[in-house]
Amino acid sequence: MGCFTFIKVMMILFNLVIFLSGGTLLGVGIWVTTDRDSFLDVFGVLSSTVMQVVNVGYFLIVIGAILLVIGFLGCYGAQKESKCLLMMFFSVVLIIFVAEVAAAVVALVYTTLAETLLSAVLTPVLKEKYGVDNTFTEIWNITMEKVSCCGLNNYTDFNNSYWYDHTGTYPAPCCKNVEPCTATLAAQSNVTGCFNQIVEEIRTNAGVVGGVAAGIAALEIASMAVSMYLYCRLDQK
């Protein structure tokens, strides 16, 4: 087996794995979107903690669709030795790589600003949906009880919320499960926000996150190099 054939086969197998992974994520994303309760039952507290920050279903659908496109372009392009598909594969991976680098730079340089903006976007959603949307409320209750946190930043996130306007109290976890949870008791309890705990957990595991990110970046660079190698070798055939 020549070098070109070997790299071509590896390219096909690698992108086949990506394609199947994308299909799996897409399927899970559709499952989460249509049957969120079952997802929570299977994955428990971890899923509830993540779902308070992002809509897991739509997130998985987007990631799955992107992986499907990348896997198809790489696998089919290598199999058919199509310069057009290989160049499209290279371009898509390059765009994703540049976007990831840009996001990493922004996260490093503007971490505090990014946290502030994200909190500003999510807090109104918490005020509006907590106590109204049963699934949303259940997710937050599970998270606040298991993680021992309250709101995004603290108990004041529930000020002027639907829940506070209709009950006159804060959720029990804001007062360490002492009820009724009044403003005075919530202030004395000084329960930290869930968002801060998630950010702190990410910072604590920054080495692991950085290692995973570096591994993904290396795979993307290798994929682009291999696709360009095949693209250039096709001119010589």
Q: How far is 41 from 27, CA to CA, in rounded Å? A: 17
Query: What is the pLDDT confidence band of residue 46, given thresholds at 50, 70 and 90?
Result: very low
The pLDDT tens digits of the residues spanning 129-173 come to 888 888 788 888 888 888 888 988 889 989 988 999 988 999 999
pLDDT of residue 129: 87
The pLDDT tens digits of the residues spanning 79-112 come to 888 888 889 999 988 998 888 888 777 767 666 6
Q: Fill in the DSSP letter of residue 41.
A: H
The closest of 167, 195, 165 to 179, measured between CA atoms, is 167
Average pLDDT over residues 1-7: 75
Q: How far is 56 from 32, CA to CA, in rounded Å? A: 7
C-alpha 227, offset from chain centre: 27
pLDDT of residue 171: 92
pLDDT of residue 154: 87
Residue 76: CB atoms within 10 A of its CB come to 17
| 127 contacts 158 by C-beta, under 8 angstroms | yes
Q: Which residue ranges does the chain devote to CATH 1.10.1450?
A: 113-197
**CATH class held by domain 113-197:** mainly alpha
Q: What share of the chain is helix, strand, coil (3-state, %, to 5)?
A: 80, 0, 20
SS (H, E, C) 49-101: HHHCCCCHHHHHHHHHHHHHHHHHHHHHHHHHCCHHHHHHHHHHHHHHHHHHH
Q: How far is 53 from 189, CA to CA, in rounded Å? A: 24
User: Which H helix or E strand runs over 122?
Assistant: helix 111-129
Residue 114 has pLDDT above 50, yes or no: yes
C-alpha 159, offset from chain centre: 28
Residue 204: CB atoms within 10 A of its CB come to 10
Q: Residue 123: what are its φ and ψ, rounded to 5°?
A: -60, -45
